[in-house]
């Protein structure tokens, strides 16, 4: 698909739907839930999993569908951490078998994993820039997706019912 990736309805509702386009009433809305930690993760990755899922669950931003993306992030984090330890131990430049200085192979591993982590981090709102586009509602308000659905229904009714809600 060409063009900018569509924002999830939850993010549009959190940002106040700045484009004022109709919200997708048929978007899947998985229940917030704590996914199980994959057994394939290393101990460092499991520690990161526990840290992230605790934070995301406080905000109701994690579901069972997020398991793969979170596992990928945590695995990348563990590889990045291991590569950084080796860089600290051996430095960014090492001697080649012929004796010439070359860039440490751990540096390219660390850089690749950091890029992967940043891509996934922006999806989950782990970065300051991605968080700045989201504002959380006061705790006494209705759940966010119900508010978005109500706003959508009001827009359809006010617009003369020209859009079919699928009911």
User: 36-89: per-residue pLDDT in tens?
Assistant: 999 999 999 999 999 999 988 888 888 999 999 999 999 999 999 999 999 999
Higher pLDDT, 83 or 133: 83
Q: Percentage of the chain surpassing pLDDT 90?
A: 47
Is 66:32 a contact under the CB 8 Å cutoff? no
Is 49:41 a contact under the CB 8 Å cutoff? yes
Checking if the pLDDT of 27 tops 90, the result is no
Is 30:69 a contact under the CB 8 Å cutoff? no
CB contact set of 16 (below 8 Å; sequence gap of 6+): 135
Checking if the pLDDT of 26 tops 50, the result is yes
Checking if the pLDDT of 140 tops 60, the result is no
pLDDT for the residue numbered 142: 40
CB contact set of 52 (below 8 Å; sequence gap of 6+): 70, 73, 74, 124, 126
Q: Of 10-24, 41-55, 118-132, 149-163, which gets the smallest average pLDDT?
A: 149-163
What six digits make up the tokens of 163? 């859009």
What six digits make up the tokens of 122? 């922006």
């Amino acid at each position: 698909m060409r063009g900018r990736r569509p924002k999830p309805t939850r993010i549009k509702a959190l940002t106040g739907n700045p484009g004022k386009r109709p919200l997708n009433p048929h978007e899947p809305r998985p229940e917030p839930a704590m996914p199980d930690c994959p057994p394939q993760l290393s101990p460092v990755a499991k520690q990161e999993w526990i840290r992230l899922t605790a934070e995301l669950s406080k905000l109701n931003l994690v579901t069972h569908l997020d398991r793969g993306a979170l596992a990928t992030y945590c695995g990348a984090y563990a590889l990045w951490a291991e590569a950084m330890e080796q860089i600290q131990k051996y430095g960014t430049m090492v001697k080649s078998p012929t004796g010439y200085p070359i860039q440490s192979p751990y540096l390219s591993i660390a850089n690749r994993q950091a890029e992967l982590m940043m891509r996934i981090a922006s999806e989950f709102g782990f970065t300051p820039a991605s968080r700045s586009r989201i504002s959380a509602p006061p705790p006494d308000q209705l759940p966010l997706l119900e508010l978005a659905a109500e706003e959508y229904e009001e827009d359809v009714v006010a617009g003369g019912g020209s859009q079919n809600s699928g009911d």
